[in-house]
């Protein structure tokens, strides 16, 4: 494996990371390699690529570390999390910028606590497919470079399951929880170094903690609006899974909605509905408030900073509303204005009432088949007339995807992969690369039957 490495995170103060190499696996076998992403990043792999992507060999020039972070998990403070099963090999750099190369499922680390440091096929292939799909949908995210079978089993609730490692790439792995880790320890040296580093990496135009916070809040609000536009539910928006650079990170029990239900929750561990679809903006704002709190110790004038940071966090909701209106107006073929907000709300209400499939309903706008999904509603004709008059119908099919990774297909893909057949994985992954093209294989765009419907997703790490 050849790449241009430059490991800037490993030049930060010692407290920020722990040097640690991936733990080799019994028998690495390649499951998937993202050649086009490798090419974009100037990475060349030989036939032994699975050795590197499993962590059995460390590439020349890499400087493997694990990162320190803390976090609020479901609102409860956990002062020490850290990379319990991930190893950051380093960063590759080039004219595309600087990109983290991280192995997840790479064995026990100094942060593992009781965990085994490993992962099974399920979460690995799920993250691969869903993160690549998000990228194809134009949503900022970590990406999948490779997946490798370890030849080892991992013990999970259902029993022994085949192990796998994913190599993911990211604009960084800096989380709200990374800031919280140092703020809670009153380690101002590390906190200041982390802030300078994050500014240089994500918001080079920012000149202060305040400007950093403004930028982070802005991108976070935009990100959540984009999630909402494709019916995506992250599922575990803990502060350790909330990225300061506005990208989607840590795909756990995440899912795309089939039938539209604003309060939809998938994750089996989210019993209160904290991370349900329509609660995501509230939680993202709450996470940004935790980021603001973590930045406070660096301010000279605490009172002034509290006032100012509070305003910035409160601005989240206006920014989100504006972005959300933009996203949904575009989905309806409208410019953002009061009328399009009203038409969006009415359509969503009719969809919720009918339990209409989210993706198919919006896609049906492009062929004016929306009546099939919500036409029974008493308000439909009025809505339809108003919408027909104002909408620009030409671009609808390039905005409303025909295909998203449907839960029942993702589950079937995992089951087949566990049985040794990767065909469905490859077919699904290929189709998801062009989400706005009506797929050849209608199975991938069809809504699930009642029998196929997936009601819950499991962290199943
Ligand atoms: P997550 O739920 O994946 O965001 O992980 C939350 C925390 O648990 C992080 O610190 C992870 O590194 C850690 N973790 C998750 N799964 C494992 C595992 N199998 N072994 C060790 N640590 C883990
Ligand atoms: Mg996490």
pLDDT (tens digit per residue) in 300-319:
999 999 999 999 999 999 99
Report how far ligand 2's centroid is from the alpha carbon of 122 (Å).
16
Q: CA angle, corner 164, sides to 158 and 169, nearest 5?
A: 130
Residue 232 has pLDDT above 80, yes or no: yes
CB 26 within 8 A of CB 150: yes
Counting atoms of ligand 1 from 1, which one is nearest the CA of 109? Answer: 21
What pLDDT is stored for residue 391 in this prediction?
Answer: 96
Residue nearest to atom 12 of ligand 1 (CA): 84
DSSP state of 395: T
Ligand 1 probe mutation, 84, 121, 175, most atoms within 8 A of CB: 84
Counting Cα atoms < 13 Å in the Cβ hemisphere of 312 gives: 27
What pLDDT is stored for residue 459 in this prediction?
Answer: 60
Tell me if residue 45 falls in helix, strand or coil: coil
Q: How far is CA 92 from CA 102, 165, 283, in A?
A: 11, 19, 32
Beta sheet of 86-94, edge-to-edge order: 17-19, 65-67, 86-94, 97-104, 159-170, 143-156, 29-33
Counting atoms of ligand 1 from 1, which one is nearest the CA of 69? Answer: 10
Report how far ligand 2's centroid is from the alpha carbon of 434 (Å).
28
Give the integer Cα–Cα distance in Å for 60 and 56: 13
Using a 6 Å cutoff on CB, does residue 242 contact ligand 1? no
Residue 40 has pLDDT above 90, yes or no: yes
Report how far ligand 2's centroid is from the alpha carbon of 173 (Å).
10
Using a 6 Å cutoff on CB, does residue 252 contact ligand 1? yes
Tell me if residue 297 falls in helix, strand or coil: helix
pLDDT, tens digit, for every residue of 76-130?
999 999 999 999 999 999 999 999 999 999 999 999 999 999 999 999 999 999 9
The domains of the chain are located at 9-170
Residue 268 has pLDDT above 70, yes or no: yes
Using a 6 Å cutoff on CB, does residue 112 contact ligand 1? yes
Q: Could you tell me the pLDDT band of residue 362, with boundaries at 50, 70 and 90?
A: very high
Q: Could you tell me the pLDDT band of residue 185, with boundaries at 50, 70 and 90?
A: very high
Mean pLDDT computed over 225-253: 97
Give the integer Cα–Cα distance in Å for 271 and 257: 18
Structure pTM? 0.98
Determine how β-strand 65-67 pairs with β-strand 17-19. antiparallel
What pLDDT is stored for residue 460 in this prediction?
Answer: 62
Give the integer Cα–Cα distance in Å for 88 and 103: 6
Mean pLDDT computed over 71-75: 97
Q: Could you tell me the pLDDT band of residue 62, with boundaries at 50, 70 and 90?
A: very high
Using a 6 Å cutoff on CB, does residue 177 contact ligand 1? no
Residue nearest to atom 11 of ligand 1 (CA): 84
Give the integer Cα–Cα distance in Å for 381 and 392: 18
Q: Roughly how many angstroms between the first and final C-alpha of the chain, as a whole number?
A: 28
Using a 6 Å cutoff on CB, does residue 115 contact ligand 1? yes
Tell me if residue 49 falls in helix, strand or coil: helix
Residue 456 has pLDDT above 90, yes or no: no
DSSP state of 171: S
Between residues 414 and 454, which one has the greater pLDDT? 414
What pLDDT is stored for residue 458 in this prediction?
Answer: 73
Q: Could you tell me the pLDDT band of residue 457, with boundaries at 50, 70 and 90?
A: confident
What pLDDT is stored for residue 461 in this prediction?
Answer: 74
Counting atoms of ligand 1 from 1, which one is nearest the CA of 240? Answer: 4
Tell me if residue 253 falls in helix, strand or coil: coil
pLDDT, tens digit, for every residue of 119-163?
999 999 999 999 999 999 999 999 999 999 999 999 999 899 999
Mean pLDDT computed over 22-32: 98
The rounded mean pLDDT for the chain is: 97
């Amino acid at each position: 494996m050849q790449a241009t490495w430059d490991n800037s995170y490993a030049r930060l103060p010692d407290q920020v990371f722990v040097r640690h190499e991936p733990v080799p696996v019994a028998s690495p076998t390649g499951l998937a390699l993202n050649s086009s992403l490798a090419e974009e990043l100037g990475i060349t792999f030989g036939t032994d690529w699975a050795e590197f992507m499993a962590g059995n060999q460390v590439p020349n020039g890499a400087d493997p570390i694990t990162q320190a972070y803390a976090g609020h998990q479901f609102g409860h403070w956990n002062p020490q999390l850290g990379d319990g099963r991930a190893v950051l090999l380093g960063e590759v750099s080039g004219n595309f910028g600087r990109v983290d190369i991280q192995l997840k499922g790479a064995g026990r680390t100094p942060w593992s606590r009781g965990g085994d440091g490993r992962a099974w096929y399920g979460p690995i292939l799920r993250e691969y497919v869903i993160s690549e799909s998000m990228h194809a949908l134009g949503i900022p995210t970590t990406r999948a470079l490779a997946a490798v079978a370890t030849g080892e089993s991992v013990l999970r609730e259902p029993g022994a399951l085949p192990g796998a490692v994913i190599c993911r790439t990211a604009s960084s792995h800096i989380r709200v929880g990374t800031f919280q880790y140092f703020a809670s320890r009153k380690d101002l040296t590390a906190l200041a170094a982390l802030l300078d580093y994050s500014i240089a990496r994500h918001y080079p135009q920012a000149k202060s903690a305040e400007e950093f916070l403004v930028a982070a809040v802005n991108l976070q609000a935009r990100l959540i609006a984009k999630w909402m536009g494709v019916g995506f539910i992250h599922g575990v928006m803990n502060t350790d899974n909330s990225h300061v650079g506005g990208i989607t990170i840590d795909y756990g029990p995440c899912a795309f909605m089939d039938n539209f239900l604003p309060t939809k929750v998938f994750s089996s561990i989210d019993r209160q509905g904290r991370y349900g679809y329509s609660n995501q903006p509230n939680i993202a704002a709450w996470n940004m408030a935790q980021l603001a709190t973590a930045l406070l110790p660096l301010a000279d004038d605490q009172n002034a900073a509290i006032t100012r940071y509070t305003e910035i966090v409160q601005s989240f909701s206006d920014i989100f509303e504006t972005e959300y209106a933009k996203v949904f107006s575009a989905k309806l073929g409208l410019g953002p204005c009061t009328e399009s907000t009203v038409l969006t709300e009415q359509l969503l209400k009719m969809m919720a009432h009918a339990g209409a499939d989210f993706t198919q309903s919006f896609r049906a706008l492009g062929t004016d088949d929306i009546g099939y999904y919500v036409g029974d509603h008493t308000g439909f004709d009025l809505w339809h007339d108003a919408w027909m008059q104002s909408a620009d119908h030409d671009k609808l099919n390039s905005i409303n995807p025909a295909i998203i990774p449907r839960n029942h297909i993702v589950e079937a893909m995992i089951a087949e992969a566990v049985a040794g057949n990767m065909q469905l994985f490859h077919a699904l992954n290929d189709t998801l690369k062009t989400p706005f093209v009506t797929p050849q294989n209608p199975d991938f765009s069809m809504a699930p039957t009642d029998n196929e419907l997936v009601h819950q997703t499991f962290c199943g790490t």
